Amino acid sequence: MRRPAALGAARAAALGAALAAAWAGATEPGAAATPGAPRLRAAASAPPSTSPSGAASVALLPRWPWQRPPPGEPRRSAYQDMGAAVRAMQDDEAQNPGFLWREAGAEAWQAPAGPAGRRCADCHGADALTAMRGVATRYPAYDARLGRPLTLGQRIRQCRVERQGAADLATESEALLGLETLVASASRGLPIAPDADPRLAPWLARGEARWRQRLGQLDLSCAQCHDERAGARLAGTPIPQAHPTGYPQYRLEWQALGSLQRRLRNCLTGVRAEPFPDGDPAWTELGLYLMRRAAGLPLETPAVRP
- The count of domains in the chain is 1
220: how many CB neighbours lie within 10 A of its CB? 24
Q: Is residue 110 part of a domain?
A: yes
What residue numbers does the annotated binding site for heme c cover?
120, 123-124, 159, 222, 225-226, 267
What residue numbers does the annotated binding site for substrate cover?
263
Convert the pLDDT of each residue in 126-147 to its tens digit. Answer: 999 999 999 999 999 999 999 9
Domain that includes residue 105, residue range? 98-185
The single-letter DSSP state of residue 298 is B
CATH number, domain of 114, equals 1.10.760.10
Q: Is residue 31 part of a domain?
A: no
Q: Is residue 59 part of a domain?
A: no
CB 118 within 8 A of CB 109: no
Q: Is residue 222 part of a domain?
A: no
pLDDT band at 200 (very low <50, low <70, confident <90, very high): very high
Indicate the pTM of the whole model.
0.78
Query: pLDDT over 90 for what percent of the chain?
Result: 74
Q: Which of 89, 132, 192, 267 is catalytic?
A: 267
Convert the pLDDT of each residue in 13-57 to its tens digit. Answer: 555 555 545 444 443 333 333 333 323 333 333 333 333 233 333
Tell the burial category of 130 from Cβ atoms under 10 Å away from its Cβ (0-12, 13-18, 19+). Answer: exposed
Active site residue 267: yes
Query: pLDDT over 70 for what percent of the chain?
Result: 76
Angle (CA) 49 78 259, round 5°: 105
Q: Which of 66-80, 235-249, 255-269 has the lowest mean pLDDT?
A: 66-80
Question: Cα(23)–Cα(189) distance, rounded to whole angstroms?
Answer: 36
Q: Is residue 176 part of a domain?
A: yes
Question: Residue 63 above 70 pLDDT?
Answer: no
Q: Is residue 255 part of a domain?
A: no
Convert the pLDDT of each residue in 110-122 to its tens digit. Answer: 999 999 999 999 9
